[in-house]
Amino acid sequence: MTHTLPDLIPNTELVLPPQAERKLSNGLTVIAIRRAAVPLVEVRLRIPFGRAPLGAATLLSQALFTGTGSMSMLDIAAELQAVGGGLGAGLDPDRLQISGNALADGLGRTLEILAGVLTDAAYPGEEVVTERERLVDNIQVALSQPAHLARVALLKRMFVDHPYAVQTPAAEEVRAVEPETLRELHADRVRPAGSILVLVGDIDPEQAIDVAEKMLGGWSGAAVDGGIPPTPALRPGALLLVDRPGSVQSSLRIALPALTRTDPDYAALSLANLLFGGYFSSRWVENIREDKGYTYGSHSVIEHFAAGSALVAAADVATEVTGPSLLETTYELGRIASLPPGEEELEQARRYALGTLRLGMSTQAGLAGLATVYAGFGLRLDFLREHSAALAAATGEQVAAAAAKHLAPSRAVTVVLGDAEKIEAQLAALTVVERSAR
């Protein structure tokens, strides 16, 4: 019997799940989506938080659930747990995001507890001090991680003095934050206006919104303007070398210009990114991992912030082949920016892009994540349909043009973190190297 590759059965049309949306009178937008496969509900709440003081905002995200006027930290955790629930908060440069889930029958109770936290958070002194010390310890651990250090250096190099340039507070900055500062920040910024609540799960969308309205309708107050100026254009220049003595690998990070999701050329750029380094079957992975064994993995991704988008490429490579890894990376960027992609290669990337959109919406958590991220940019799930159509329609010429414009090595901002003594000469043979001052 011969063994030949079976054909693919074409994808059925993209079906969006049943959903509802309502803007409450307090300014909170609620989006509810039904996916009933398991009796759970996913909860996401995004609150605009741009330009908030970094140390205080980061600590607020960690101390948000430490108590209210009527509940202790333990009460909050225990009562959420009792309905199979859990909530946590995180911060990015644009937003405070609360995320969690619960058994579907526990939706009302979960939102009731959440409302208590939003309207009546107490930031008790003892608990805040504990969270502050934990945060300081976590920052110290982060500063020992190569991935974090490389990210810090890259952000600084990309954004210079824009608010996005620093996304992790210094330990001293956190140590100086008092509980009262958190109460003030909460009063100013944790507000329903402009915030978005997304609920996904085994729910009736309209009824779920009714529950949200009942529980969160009393959350009130206007928010201050958290708008952030557009990100500056990347300024390519010398490769920035950050010394990490004794490092047994070099962390290579490259930023390139990108487009927002709604730009007419975005689908073409997405495909160009996949071809270069955006998935395992990309040229970059096939070259520096599967051909040369320089790295365990390399990956490039288009990152979107409220004030701008960028393409970031990352690989951790063996110290002794740091120069050769940069050489191959520059070669692959130059190749995709200069030559049109092959037809089969492009179709493969296109099918991957279309398929992973479906995979991403096949779970409650995946749908909640997509809907929440999109909503943060003023988009709704039907953007999936538009984006799919754009991916299906993008031509090889458009992909080549997007690559020429955005992926050219001359546009790259490059940072390498590693043992400078061992890698500086390797890198200097290929490009101008500047040592990080630290």
Q: Which of residues 121-180 bind another protein (CB under 8 A)?
A: 127, 130, 133-134, 137-138, 140-141, 143-146
Stretch that binds another protein, among 35-43, 187-195, 208-216, 386-394 (CB under 8 A): 35-43
DSSP string, 144-203: T-HHHHHHHHHHHHHHTTSGGG--S--HHHHHT--HHHHHHHHHHH--STT-EEEEEESS
Report if residue 38 touches another protein, rule: CB under 8 A: yes
Q: Which residues inside 79-108 make contact with another protein, applying CB under 8 A?
A: 79-86, 101-103, 105-106
Question: In whole angstroms, how close is the CB of 432 to another protein at the nearest point?
Answer: 26
**Residues in a beta bridge with 305:** 308
Question: In whole angstroms, how close is the CB of 325 to another protein at the nearest point?
Answer: 11
Binds another protein by CB under 8 A, chosen from 22, 109, 335, 422: 109
Return the number of the residue (365 or 381) whose C-beta is nearest another protein: 365
Report if residue 396 touches another protein, rule: CB under 8 A: no
Report if residue 281 touches another protein, rule: CB under 8 A: yes
Question: In whole angstroms, how close is the CB of 363 to another protein at the nearest point?
Answer: 5
Question: For residues 212 and 111, what is the distance between their CA atoms, to the nearest angstrom?
Answer: 7
Question: For residues 134 and 280, what is the distance between their CA atoms, to the nearest angstrom?
Answer: 37
- Comparing CA positions, the residue from 131, 98, 160, 394 lying closest to residue 263 is 394
Q: Which residues inside 335-364 make contact with another protein, applying CB under 8 A?
A: 347-348, 351-352, 354-356, 358-359, 361-364
Strand, helix or coil at 307? coil
Q: Which residues inside 210-239 make contact with another protein, applying CB under 8 A?
A: none
User: Rg of the Cα trace of the chain?
Assistant: 24
Return the number of the residue (145 or 260) whose C-beta is nearest another protein: 145
Question: In whole angstroms, how close is the CB of 8 to another protein at the nearest point?
Answer: 5
Question: In whole angstroms, how close is the CB of 272 to another protein at the nearest point?
Answer: 16
Question: For residues 419 and 337, what is the distance between their CA atoms, to the nearest angstrom?
Answer: 31
Residue 232: burial class (beta carbons within 10 Å; 0-12, 13-18, 19+): middle
Number of residues that bind another protein (CB under 8 A): 83
Question: In whole angstroms, how close is the CB of 348 to another protein at the nearest point?
Answer: 4
Torsion of CA 395, 400, 403, 404, to 10 degrees: -140
Question: For residues 202 and 98, what is the distance between their CA atoms, to the nearest angstrom?
Answer: 20
Q: Give the amino acid at 164.
A: Y
Question: In whole angstroms, how close is the CB of 351 to another protein at the nearest point?
Answer: 5
Torsion of CA 288, 292, 295, 298, to 10 degrees: 20
Q: Which residues inside 285-324 make contact with another protein, applying CB under 8 A?
A: 286, 289-297, 316-318
Binds another protein by CB under 8 A, chosen from 28, 33, 40, 311: 40
Report if residue 245 touches another protein, rule: CB under 8 A: no
Residue 155 has which token pair?
């952000």
- Comparing CA positions, the residue from 300, 278, 298 lying closest to residue 345 is 278
Question: In whole angstroms, how close is the CB of 48 to another protein at the nearest point?
Answer: 27
Binds another protein by CB under 8 A, chosen from 33, 44, 45, 65: 65
